[in-house]
Chain A
Amino acid sequence: MKLLVVEDDKEAGAYLKRALNQAGHTVDHVADGREGLLLAAAESYDVIVLDRMLPKMDGLAIVRTIRASGVKTPVLLLTALGGIDDRVEGLEAGGDDYLVKPFAIAELVARVNALARRPPTQYAPTALQVADLKLDRLARTVTRAGDRIELQPREFQLLEYLMRHAGRVVTRTMLLESVWDYHFDPKTNIVETHMSRLRAKIDRGRAQELIHTVRGAGYCLREGA
């Protein structure tokens, strides 16, 4: 994927660029808000990673400007402001995701991957399918190889999120935010517990496991190893 990173801290920007390159992305890095705005409007990127506090221009102003000019590229806002209102403000300005500094680089890579627009054929509004696992969002049913699987409401939400991001790594924090709507970090391992119960229902006794643990990063639902 082709990414734009707008980050004024030279060292942090270079580190982000290197890490995203290693994750297989092409990265343009600029340190200046105005330059970032010009590139974001002129070039075609898959995801824009934008520091919220930039010299000369506020990151939020950049998001508003490019959204007003019709650019729909997903934007991941990076910020040192971790307040609830700051997050809401960032999303309302047109950001698609919000990551509070400091963060693990694996978290950033996972979120960038999750943000990239997927080909439209893979996404149907009511039914999701990965291998022989099917999820019907309207009937709220899940089947594997035709067998009906009963899930608790949270397990259903968890599976739906994994299937919508099939093939991509989702982190524990992403799951907490999206499935539980917890914007804080509970000390209890509720993600792990629910994941292991979901796994037991989806994968136990099956020839092929679909839910995989990605060490040091999170989880991934995909066909094959």
Chain B
Amino acid sequence: MFRSTSLRLAAFYTAAFALSVVVLGAITLLTTRATLKQQFDARIDSEAAALAQEFRTEGLSGVVQAVGERDRTPGALDYGLDGPDGAAIAGRLAGSRAAPGWSTLRLSTAHGPEAIRVLTTTLPGGYALRIGDDDARNDALEQTVVAGFGWAFAGVVVLGILGGLGLSYGVHRRLNAMSAAAEAIINGDFSRRIPVRGPTSGSGRGGGDDLDRLAATFNRMLDRIALLMESLRQVSNDVAHDLRTPLTRLRQRLEASRTARTAPERMAAISGALEDVDAILDTFAALLRISQIEGGARRTAFRPVDLTALARAVVGDFAPSAEDAGQRLTLEAGEPLAVDGDPELLTQMLVNLVENALRHAGDRARVTVRVAAEGGGAVVAVADDGPGVPPAERERVFDRFYRLERSRSTPGSGLGLALVAAVARLHGATVTLADAAPGLDVRVAFASLVRGATLGFLNVADSASSARMA
């Protein structure tokens, strides 16, 4: 418990407050004492001056009378008047033989010994006038002050310790809860999350304090890790599943080549086996590429890429093949629109979209590639007039190896759109599938454009590998 940060902090603050109380008390005590002494002396001084005045106007008898009257008044000062020979004339303090000036007299009274602070002044004719008061009254006041501060000190210490214990218990409990959650996750319970008090909005700003915000941030991190792990698990499953089919076929062909009776039969089986191997390798290459893109390392290669020029090049490259197949591939694009990106990956993304449209839209399909500015960004869309994708399956077509039921007979690995989604994600672009009525409209929307002088250096065909063989 003493290794708890919050407790140590609370102890430190308690000590600091207690020390402040002590210092404050000492200062108060000293000032009180000085003020009281000053007031005491001033009161006696003015009384002495008043009686000296009485002596001058009324003479000795006036003073004697005054002293006698005041001495009998309860709570008044103590008085004494001595003759020039030192003989007591009137008052309690008479006959004490104190020298002129301030002195302290010790009297024994019915209540016990009493210390009295006395001012002795000499009146004309050698009479000595003594005026004093009990010092204990000041002491009582001082004791009250000291006692007050003593209670305050005790209060601060008690409150500090209780507060510190309470605070550190609260923090300790929450940190323990976080620790426990982390331990549980380490031990394999990946669904565990750190408890967060108060409402948490999507942005991760907890309704609670800084600890809650920390917990919410950790939870979002855990969500992300869980998502990545889930996708990794999914991919491993998919790979194991989807490679089983071509591997089975490959095995059959190799078996067939072993039992083939004639050389052409054997050659056909071997050629088929080679094709199967190539198809498997293609799948591997696509998977590796997707995981590399999802790793995000390619962002360092980003530079301005003119989507219009890129689309023009891709349409130019694929239009002849489409034409030969009785399809039409056209471009709708205007001014240059540059986004920050990886030209090689963006090209592959568009190629995948175009190939996907040409492959699935049918024999006489018309495929249109559109590039347009939209909402401060740019949209690249590939629309076809084929059978489209049912709304329920639109999200799933971006999953690895996902293929529509009717596409199972057409060639393809089911990785084309997964790669499109990965490239789009890397570029912070969103991919949406819409109904082109009839057909499918795949839109990739980039949030922002690159403007300025760099446009002159835009290029599409010239990628990073300029050092390639001549």
Q: B-contacting residues of A (Cβ < 8 Å)?
A: 74, 82-85, 87-88, 91-92, 96-97, 102, 114-115, 152-154, 164, 177-178, 180-190, 193-194, 197
Contact = CB atoms under 8 A, between A and B. Distances in A.
Interface residues of B, number: 34
A198 to B, nearest CB: 11
Contact of A83 (B292, B347, B355, B411): B292
Interface string B299-331: 001000000000000001110110010000000
B358 A87 contact: no
B282 A85 contact: no
Interface in B379-412: 411-412
A225 B227 CA distance: 59
Contacts of A91: 465, 467-468
Given A82-B285, A181-B462, A183-B463, A96 B469 contact: yes
A154 B113 CA distance: 123
A179 to B, nearest CB: 9
Contact of B465 (A88, A152, A194): A88
Contact of A197 (B282, B320, B463): B320
B467 A183 contact: no
Given A87-B465, A181-B461, A183-B344, A193 B292 contact: no
B469 A97 contact: yes
Interface string B336-366: 0000000011011001000100110000000
B465 A188 contact: no
A97 B298 CA distance: 21
A152 B316 CA distance: 9
A154 B320 CA distance: 11
B469 A190 contact: no
Given A114-B469, A154-B316, A197-B320, 10 more contacts: A82-B285, A84-B292, A84-B345, A85-B298, A177-B468, A178-B468, A183-B463, A184-B348, A188-B358, A189-B321
A185 B318 contact: no
A187 B355 CA distance: 7
B411 to A, nearest CB: 7
Contact of B317 (A85, A184, A190): A190
B76 interface: no
B272 to A, nearest CB: 15
B288 interface: yes
B363 to A, nearest CB: 15
Contacts of A193: 320-321, 324
A178 B469 contact: yes
Contacts of B359: 187
A184 B298 contact: no
Contact of B297 (A85, A177, A178, A187): A85
Nearest to B316: A154
Interface in B413-470: 461-465, 467-470
Contacts of B92: none
Nearest to B288: A82
Contact of A181 (B320, B355, B358, B463): B463
Given A88-B465, A178-B468, A194-B320, A186 B355 contact: yes
Nearest to A85: B297
A128 B201 CA distance: 67
B411 A187 contact: yes
A87 B298 CA distance: 13
B457 to A, nearest CB: 16
B33 interface: no
A197 B319 CA distance: 12
A102 B281 CA distance: 8
B289 interface: yes
Nearest 4 Cβ contacts at the A-B interface:
A91-B467, A193-B321, A193-B320, A97-B469
A91 B464 CA distance: 10
A84 B298 contact: yes
B321 A188 contact: yes
A180 B317 contact: yes
B344 A188 contact: no
B469 A188 contact: no
Contacts of A187: 355, 359, 411-412
A105 to B, nearest CB: 12
A97 B468 contact: yes
Interface in B150-206: none
A183 B317 CA distance: 15
Contact of B348 (A74, A115, A182): A182
A83 B298 CA distance: 10
A182 B461 CA distance: 9
Contacts of A84: 292, 298, 301, 344-345, 464
A115 B470 CA distance: 8
A88 B282 CA distance: 21
A188 B468 CA distance: 24
A115 B468 CA distance: 10
A89 to B, nearest CB: 10
Contacts of B461: 180-181
Contacts of A115: 469
